[in-house]
Amino acid sequence: MVTKSNQKDIPVKLDIELKERIEEFISKGENRFTYPSVKNFVDKSVLSMLKEVKNEK
């Protein structure tokens, strides 16, 4: 279920080491096309994790 939020996207600060590791990962092979940006990677990864947690309940 997708709900609309009245809040605008709020920037989230990432740990510099985490950001560097994400950038390294998304720059390799097919990952460049699957995850065109750090934000896209974080969005997809968190959504996937939330779906897994929901299914475990």
The one-letter amino acid code at 6 reads: N
Task: Give the CA distances from residue 22 to residues 34, 39, 42, 54, in Å, rounded to whole numbers and listed in that order.
Answer: 13, 10, 9, 25
- As a whole number of angstroms, the distance between CA 23 and CA 45 comes to 14
The one-letter amino acid code at 24 reads: E
The predicted pLDDT at position 47 comes to 96
The predicted pLDDT at position 1 comes to 47
The predicted pLDDT at position 43 comes to 94
The predicted pLDDT at position 6 comes to 62
The predicted pLDDT at position 3 comes to 57
pTM: 0.75
Q: Pick out the chain residues at pLDDT < 70.
A: 1-7
**43 and 15 in contact (C-beta within 8 Å)?**
no
The counts of H helices and E strands in the chain are 3, 0
Domain ranges in the chain are 16-56
